[in-house]
Chain A
Amino acid sequence: GNSVTQMEGPVTLSEEAFLTINCTYTATGYPSLFWYVQYPGEGLQLLLKATKADDKGSNKGFEATYRKETTSFHLEKGSVQVSDSAVYFCALRYTGFQKLVFGTGTRLLVSP
């Protein structure tokens, strides 16, 4: 079936450190891939997306590249800020359907 696996958190970093949150997926066909961010007590906001192999999504300094050969969509940021502290969800939407399949989320904690 279709599934998303994320690295377990929390990920704890100091401000200005490099961030990587791993995400791998299992899917038939060619899914679209997404990263959403959730700040405490709020809903999810789309952070970035990629719709085909080798696409790179980017937003607010975050990047992720759709790697079909490794079925991965790892999230990276070169220099995190305290305001980036949140829960990050990787998700896929498989071909022909509107439903999203989410990973379990990874909490990021950034200290000054």
Chain B
Amino acid sequence: DGGITQSPKYLFRKEGQNVTLSCEQNLNHDAMYWYRQDPGQGLRLIYYSQIVNDFQKGDIAEGYSVSREKKESFPLTVTSAQKNPTAFYLCASTAAGTGGTDTQYFGPGTRLTVL
């Protein structure tokens, strides 16, 4: 079955540690996205990538980093510079194209808690 997988489902981190969240898709989609979800605030875009080896900052990129070395993978690193990292993180992907009816498909999410 095609889809997006995120791992782990739950992640705990001590303050001051970097942690990497995995996102893999087998939909052959070109574009991938990372969102952060906080209670009552909807989803906010962290980073996105429209093609391999290229990515752009979203609305809240500070304290995060990404890489896009393979089409199917878009890992997100939450660094110690992120002041409030406890949140639910969602990865999404979409087929190529800058308009039209491209739909974003979402993974199941990773809940990160800083202890």
Residues of A within 8 A of B (CB): 32, 34, 36, 41-46, 49, 51, 89, 93, 95-100, 102-105
Contact = CB atoms under 8 A, between A and B. Distances in A.
A105 to B, nearest CB: 5
Interface residues of B, number: 29
A10 to B, nearest CB: 11
B106 A32 contact: no
A46 to B, nearest CB: 6
A44 B109 CA distance: 9
A103 B42 contact: yes
A99 B45 contact: yes
Given A95-B99, A98-B31, A98-B98, A44 B106 contact: yes
B62 interface: no
A36 to B, nearest CB: 8
B106 A43 contact: yes
B99 A96 contact: yes
B17 interface: no
12 contacts: A36-B106, A43-B109, A44-B43, A44-B92, A95-B99, A98-B50, A98-B98, A99-B58, A102-B43, A104-B41, A105-B40, A105-B42
